[in-house]
A and B are shown apart, each in its own frame.
Chain A
Amino acid sequence: DTGVSQNPRHKITKRGQNVTFRCDPISEHNRLYWYRQTLGQGPEFLTYFQNEAQLEKSRLLSDRFSAERPKGSFSTLEIQRTEQGDSAMYLCASSPGPSAGHYEQYFGPGTRLTVT
């Protein structure tokens, strides 16, 4: 069990550029979540996948944001036309789900995005 991994760990980009982040969940975890955390705040939910299906998106997720989870394995989060307000830590978490008797989520190290 290698834990949740995220790449890259840090990303600096200029305003208006597109960025893509990758999350590799713990193997066999069918639930995958994306959160965003800014300084001094708790994480905020962005979107949720069960296997390959994206079942919920937060209103925080504007049309510049898109997430995918092809084949129910790794997931990508893309931000188009980045804005300075997008600067944050983007966190990915996975969970086996309640059918496995687990409700807790396990987090990756995050990708810190800085938009200049």
Chain B
Amino acid sequence: AQKVTQAQTEISVVEKEDVTLDCVYKTRDTTYYLFWYKQPPSGELVFLIRRNSFDEQNEISGRYSWNFQKSTSSFNFTITASQVVDSAVYFCALSGGAGNNRKLIWGLGTSLAVNP
């Protein structure tokens, strides 16, 4: 069965610190997709990034970067120079490959608090 594990329930950092959110996944599919979403206090889930299983290139977008490693089934998310506005719950999610309805399987989320 597919599963996503986010071992860190809560993280608290001081503004400008770097922080890494861990995500470990489990799937039998050879083709699959990984996602990160942000859920700020307002509650709406905001899509951040999608990664295909056949593309292991890491990605950087501004202060955000993602490290995908198939060998360890991990898809970690790093925020550099964190800001108070980064405070939110971050979810890692997984969906299957061809023939699948692509429903998302979610981790429990990591609550990030960035303090001034």
Q: Residues of A with Cβ closer than 8 Å to B?
A: 31, 33, 35, 40-45, 48, 50, 55-56, 89, 91, 93, 95, 97-98, 103-110, 112
Contact = CB atoms under 8 A, between A and B. Distances in A.
Contacts of A107: 37, 44-47
A57 to B, nearest CB: 11
Nearest to A41: B108
Top 10 A-B residue pairs of the complex, sorted by shortest distance between their CB atoms = A42-B106, A107-B45, A45-B103, A109-B44, A48-B101, A104-B50, A103-B33, A104-B47, A56-B101, A43-B106
Contacts of B93: 42
B47 A105 contact: yes
Contacts of A48: 101, 103
Secondary structure dominating the interface of A: strand
Contacts of A105: 47, 102, 104
Contacts, number: 60
9 contacts: A35-B104, A56-B103, A93-B45, A98-B102, A104-B35, A107-B47, A109-B43, A110-B43, A112-B43
Interface residues of B, number: 24
B95 interface: yes
Given A42-B4, A42-B107, A109-B42, 14 more contacts: A31-B101, A42-B108, A42-B109, A43-B106, A45-B103, A45-B104, A48-B103, A50-B101, A56-B101, A103-B95, A104-B47, A105-B47, A107-B45, A110-B43
A106 B47 contact: yes
A95 B93 CA distance: 15
A42 B104 CA distance: 10
